Structure 1
Amino acid sequence: GKVTGDTLVYSMDLLKEHQIDGFVFGPLNKQAFKRGGYHVEDEHELFAQCLDWMDKPRGILNVMNKLWTFRVTTHIPFKEVPKYITKENVLKTIDLTYQTMKRAGYDNPRIALAALNPHCGEGGLCGTEEIDILKPVVESLQAQGKDIVGPVSADTIFMHAFRGEYDAVVTLYHDQGQIATKLLAFDEGVTVAGGLPYAITTPEHGTAFDIAGKGIAKTSSFAHAIRLAAQMSGWRGEEA
């Protein structure tokens, strides 16, 4: 765990010294990471600390089969989700998605915003967040020329996304997006450190200690992570 943290700090130093444009790191074990002396929530908090980026917009995006996903809330109890669904938080999330995707070569990415309530709230009969918060945000961004639609009912949004109608989906809570994307391509996913001034990616899967040394690990997620980091660093060859 200490070697893992030390290596990440060294990589960040190389970034700040402009010796590299980005890096890809392998899955890490958070328990070992913390036992090694790195008492932060996760490696992404470490990155923000190293770059003095703690108070600036940042977040973790997931990319699977060219579909980007990001969420307004992350690791919080489900009962607390609605209070975090504010116009400010939704706007920040969508803006961070746009900015990160532009680094990856998208001029004006097609983004869909998921609804919070069943059937988009049934016109206010089953919740009003869609009317009071989500629709006004979408309309304000459309007025700026951004290619965004929504809110789209969460039970159909990924059907459209998997058909290639969107480049990205912004969800409102963890499982709203993670279940769909992991069903689509569990072995292909890439995690992107969004909002940072450098390209930092990693495979979305975990350490998989249970299969270590067996020669059966799949490498496609790591290959996608490398391509995407290169793409975010300015490479405009084959898309990730």
Structure 2
Amino acid sequence: MIAKLLDQQGVKDAADIVLIGDQHVWQQGAQQAALTIDLVQIDEAEIDTQQGLAWLSMQTIAPEDVKIAGVTVASGESSLRCLDKALDLAMAGKVDGILFGPFNKAALTSAGLNAEDEHRYIARHIGFQGYHSEINVLDDLMTTRVTSHIGLRDVAERITPEAVEKAIGLAEDTFRRAGKDRPHIAVAALNPHAGDNGKFGREEIDILQPVIRAAQAQQKHVTGPWPSDTIFLKAKRGEVDAVVTMYHDQGQIAIKLMGFDRGVTVAGGLPIPIATPAHGTAFDIAGQNKANVGATLQAFNLLVRMARNHRASRAAA
């Protein structure tokens, strides 16, 4: 996938790129994609002055431990070590953003992830204690979540005014990082028919409506709560910039149906721009040169915009 990305027109001209990882892993991937891409090997001291496409060599996994489409402790450890290195470089100001391919959570967990997901792991690694959450992006549409990787039976009790406010704020902040001010943010309802005036639940009346009114009083372009079975029709027509959903699948199903091969996940709220394609590891086609690079290219392009704004903000501080 990464070899295919680097082979796309304009990618190597859009940013100075440092590829992090084991040489034999890169070579295996490039061979599977039937591509030859020249890389200049550098060390950490050269990253500040590096231009173009370069490779920072690491030794994280033995060649015999690489198992295509296999969940192993060794592969999980390799992924975490490469991620840790990228995070350390970003926190040191040596890189402006991080793009990673899909992680297999089972492999990461076996290697000691010890977190709900890689986003919580990232926050812990860099010592970030503020609010953050996974954001999904499809073209010009963004979704944030009030709750994420929890069971459905636990969702309703987590829908609080503070949680909804934070999800709205996260969407606003992420749009600003991407260069757009005052986005139109639509809030999805929790219950069918947006509760139907309390007939199917009072979360819309007691929680969502007051938060939305307060946001509007602050001159924020926030509307809703909209029934979740219709809000994405408005989103598809381009009438809103972001949708705040109440739980994971409420937004994920819609986004993936609208454009599975273009979806991007952003680590929202963190002090480092981080993006990855929204699809999974696709073990069923791994090693067969069938992967669609579309979502990875979208993630790269979004990350470049975010990284440029991030660098400009640091320079102005």
Place the TM-score, normalised by the shorter chain, in its bin.
over 0.9
Q: What residue in structure 1 maps to residue 163 of structure 2?
A: 89
Q: Does 2:290 match 1:216?
A: yes
Q: What residue in structure 2 maps to residue 229 of structure 1?
A: 303
Aligned amino acid, residue 182 of structure 1: K
Note the 1:63-74 alignment, pairs <5 A.
Answer: 63-74=137-148
2:203 to 126, 129, 136: 129
In structure 1, how many angstroms separate the alpha carbons of the residues matched to 2:104 and 2:151? 23
Shift of 1:125: 2.2
Q: Does 2:39 match 1:3?
A: no
Conserved 8 A contact 2:140-2:241: yes
In structure 1, how many angstroms separate the alpha carbons of the residues matched to 2:112 and 2:217? 48
Q: Secondary structure at the match of 2:116?
A: coil
Number of residue pairs the alignment of both structures matches: 235
Q: TM-score, normalised by structure 2?
A: 0.72
In structure 2, how many angstroms separate the alpha carbons of the residues matched to 1:132 and 1:204? 33
Q: What residue in structure 2 maps to residue 152 of structure 1?
A: 226
Q: What residue in structure 1 maps to residue 88 of structure 2?
A: 13
In structure 2, how many angstroms separate the alpha carbons of the residues matched to 1:11 and 1:157? 37
Farther-moved stretch of structure 1 (224-233 vs 37-46): 37-46
Q: Secondary structure at the match of 1:124?
A: coil
Q: Which has the larger radius of gyration?
A: 2
2:242 to 147, 153, 168: 168
Q: Secondary structure at the match of 1:18?
A: coil
Could you list the per-position Cα deviations for residues 28-56 of structure 1 after superposition, in whole angstroms to 9, with x for gaps in the alignment?
A: 11222233343333221221112211x31
Aligned amino acid, residue 48 of structure 1: A
2:106 to 31, 39, 42: 31
In structure 2, how many angstroms separate the alpha carbons of the residues matched to 1:142 and 1:34? 42
Aligned amino acid, residue 197 of structure 2: G
**Where in structure 2 are there 5+ consecutive unaligned residues?**
1-75, 310-317
Conserved 8 A contact 2:138-2:264: yes
In structure 2, how many angstroms separate the alpha carbons of the residues matched to 1:133 and 1:40? 29
Q: Percent identity, aligned pairs only? A: 50
Could you list the per-position Cα deviations for residues 171-212 of structure 1 after superposition, in whole angstroms to 9, with x for gaps in the alignment?
A: 101121111111111111111000011110001111112212
Q: What residue in structure 2 maps to residue 47 of structure 1?
A: 122
Shift of 1:65: 2.3
What's the RMSD between the two structures over aligned residues?
1.4
Distance 1:155-1:38 versus aligned 2 partners, 3 A rule: closer
Q: What residue in structure 1 maps to residue 17 of structure 2?
A: none
Q: Does 2:172 match 1:98?
A: yes
**Where in structure 1 are there 5+ consecutive unaligned residues?**
236-240
Larger RCO (CA within 8 A; separation ≥ 6): 1
Q: TM-score, normalised by structure 1?
A: 0.94
